[in-house]
Structure 1
Amino acid sequence: MAGTRFAPDRGLTLRMVATMFLLGLIYVLFVAALIALGVRALVVLAIAGGLLFVQYFFSDRIALFAMQGHEVSPQQAPELHAIVDRLAALAGIPKPRVAIADMDLPNAFATGRNQREAVVCVTTGLLRRLDASELEGVIAHELSHVAHRDVAVMTIASFLGVVAGLMTRFVMYTGFGGRRNGNGPPVGLIIFVVSGVVYTLSFLLTRALSRYRELAADRAGALLTQRPSALASALTKVSGEIARIPTEDLRAARPFSSFFFAPALSRQSVVTLLSTHPPLERRLEQLAQISRELGR
């Protein structure tokens, strides 16, 4: 985030570093366990590395394609571009590309591996439901993700989970599970259990980081605009509208929930520990605290 005017967040930086360290440690132990069991994991690692490469370098194109988003010019969306222009200049970051997804789900997301390759996308449902100040709060939130390089960090953080998931499938579908190491238990069973534990730990660590980065983006966006109440209003409105959308209409968007401004999930169906976003009440509480701080 160096070189930007977003408020520094040491908590986010420390959590990113700690998460990467723990994931790296788990990864080393995982590979060591596979080697000890005599497993040649090069194929799995190569596949996972390829997926990481594609996701890292083409995340913007993949996300836009999946969400039916398309880039728009200043002539096509002058008001949206004006907001992005002003906030990017205020934040001191390069202006990201601007896109619109033609869907009723009111939401927004930012993607791209760095500030130069970033794109901010909003849905037509969001544009219809929010006023200018609320939309500005949402865009400021998304620009914070761009400034913090959240997409790159989360892509790298998810690598270990991908490896463990692929290894589990490898054991299940190749018949490797019946092999035994001497008179001990089946090697495949050990790999299956170890992979499951590694995947679970990776999943929980990345979800915890994801929840905190949403709080960090809320705080940074509110301080940038100096209008936390507008962001709180947008959060309340978007969450309420999403809750009224039929579940079947949300299924296509659920795989991308971690990228969204607000999760495409019903709050009642999500356990906090497994959620990509903090509870709405927690986000509103933080914004109310920022309002009191700015009012002093």
Structure 2
Amino acid sequence: MRSRFASDRGLTSRMVVTMFLLGLLYVVFVGVLISLGVRALTVLVVAGGLLLVQYFLSDRIALFAMGGREVSPQEAPELHGLIDRLCALADMPKPRVAIADSDVPNAFATGRNQKKAVVCVTTGILRRLEPHELEGVLAHELSHVAHRDVAVMTIASFLGIVAGLMTRFALYTGLGGRRNNGQGGLPIGVIILLVSVLVYAVSFLLTRALSRYRELAADRAGALLTQRPSALASALTKVTGDMARIPTRDLREAEPFNAFFFAPALAKGTTLATLFATHPPLERRLEQLANISKQLGRG
């Protein structure tokens, strides 16, 4: 389905290159396994099953994990009103709307396509943001829906799942034979373990890079849709600043879902390495929004 969300050729090309590298890495990985005489069919079937479950049930899984519940227009009229307006502007179907009872100020979108999508906000972000700031956040999340980012990231994570399963397969099964007909050399299990760990590490870095590109693209598309990049910048600044006042225990509970969130939940003592994992630095996002403001002739 098409929408009026703006595309970004630069960011799109980076995402395409990243996906290509992931695919290339997958082909090389399978080729190495075959050359070692490993029957990886079972692992691929299991990994494929996990991928399908994650792909088709991502909306339900995410809502359940975050404790979100769908709300009707009567229960949350202001929230529904903002999403109605944005969907009309973007010329896209309206997703389901949900609220999670959490003081962590955040929002996320999930679902494999526009028909199965759900946008969820926390009670924490509803309390903290002004309507125009919340609109900027919702435009960001609707951009994820329009561009099918959940499906893209699910597919991109497939190689990491396969590599992780192959590592366990090598550790817990009888892949202990040696190459060269048993005349010295490393055990096959050790080779598979080393290759799987390397593949997992590279795929991890590539998928995190893809996640960062996707966040920048959503910031840009959302800001251009509302024509108010300053509202999104204000929301980003406010949400990131308020994270410091959230109890560490609550942030640690939320951190596993950082890849879904509008802004990552960072517990005290967390370095930029965690931010690197799923989102671009706040300064980079604000810089892009400032440039968009200049392009639009606004401060």
Please classify the TM superposition score into its range, dividing by the shorter chain length.
over 0.9
Superposed CA offset, 1:79-130 (max 9, x none): 0000000001100111010000011110000000001111000000000111
Superposed CA offset, 1:192-245 (max 9, x none): 111011111111111111101111111111111111111111001100111222
Tell me which amino acid in the other structure corresponds to 2:280.
Answer: P
Task: Confirm or deny that 1:13 pairs with 2:15.
Answer: no
Identify which range, 225-234 or 249-258, moves more after superposition.
Answer: 249-258
Counterpart residue number, 1:188: 189
Counterpart residue number, 1:214: 215
User: In the aligned structure 2, how far is the partner of 1:235 from the partner of 1:77?
Assistant: 23
Counterpart residue number, 2:80: 81
Identity %: 76
Counterpart residue number, 1:94: 93
Tell me which amino acid in the other structure corresponds to 1:228.
Answer: P
User: What stretches of structure 2 of length at least 5 have no aligned partner?
Assistant: none
Indicate the SS of the match to 1:109. Answer: strand
Runs of 4+, deviation exceeding 4 Å: none
Contact 1:103 1:124 in 2 (8 A): yes
Counterpart residue number, 1:264: 265
Counterpart residue number, 2:142: 143
Task: Confirm or deny that 1:4 pairs with 2:3.
Answer: yes
Tell me which amino acid in the other structure corresponds to 2:115.
Answer: R
Task: Confirm or deny that 1:53 pairs with 2:55.
Answer: no
Contact 1:272 1:278 in 2 (8 A): no
Counterpart residue number, 1:295: 297
Tell me which amino acid in the other structure corresponds to 1:38.
Answer: G
User: In the aligned structure 2, how far is the partner of 1:106 from the partner of 1:82?
Assistant: 20
Contact 1:69 1:121 in 2 (8 A): yes
Displacement of 1:293 in angstroms is 1.2
User: What stretches of structure 1 of length at least 5 have no aligned partner?
Assistant: none
Contact 1:20 1:157 in 2 (8 A): yes
Counterpart residue number, 1:249: 250
Identify which range, 41-50 or 266-275, moves more after superposition.
Answer: 266-275
Displacement of 1:175 in angstroms is 4.6
Superposed CA offset, 1:241-274 (max 9, x none): 1122222212222111011000012585232784
Displacement of 1:75 in angstroms is 0.4
Displacement of 1:12 in angstroms is 3.0
Counterpart residue number, 1:25: 24
Tell me which amino acid in the other structure corresponds to 1:244.
Answer: R
Displacement of 1:24 in angstroms is 1.2
User: In the aligned structure 1, how far is the partner of 2:163 from the partner of 2:275?
Assistant: 20
Tell me which amino acid in the other structure corresponds to 2:282.
Answer: L
User: In the aligned structure 2, how far is the partner of 1:34 from the partner of 1:54?
Assistant: 25
Superposed CA offset, 1:121-166 (max 9, x none): 0000000111100000000000010111100000000000000011
Contact 1:229 1:287 in 2 (8 A): yes
User: In the aligned structure 1, how far is the partner of 2:39 from the partner of 2:270?
Assistant: 43
Contact 2:220 2:289 in 1 (8 A): yes
Tell me which amino acid in the other structure corresponds to 2:197.
Answer: G
Root-mean-square deviation (Å): 1.5
Counterpart residue number, 1:281: 283
Tell me which amino acid in the other structure corresponds to 2:177.
Answer: R
Task: Confirm or deny that 1:171 pairs with 2:170.
Answer: yes
Identify which range, 52-61 or 245-254, moves more after superposition.
Answer: 245-254
Identify which range, 260-269 or 4-13, moves more after superposition.
Answer: 260-269
Identify which range, 89-98 or 11-20, moves more after superposition.
Answer: 11-20
User: In the aligned structure 2, how far is the partner of 1:291 from the partner of 1:77?
Assistant: 31
Counterpart residue number, 2:235: 234
Contact 1:179 1:187 in 2 (8 A): yes
TM-score of the superposed pair, with normalisation by structure 2 = 0.95
Contact 2:137 2:262 in 1 (8 A): yes
TM-score of the superposed pair, with normalisation by structure 1 = 0.96
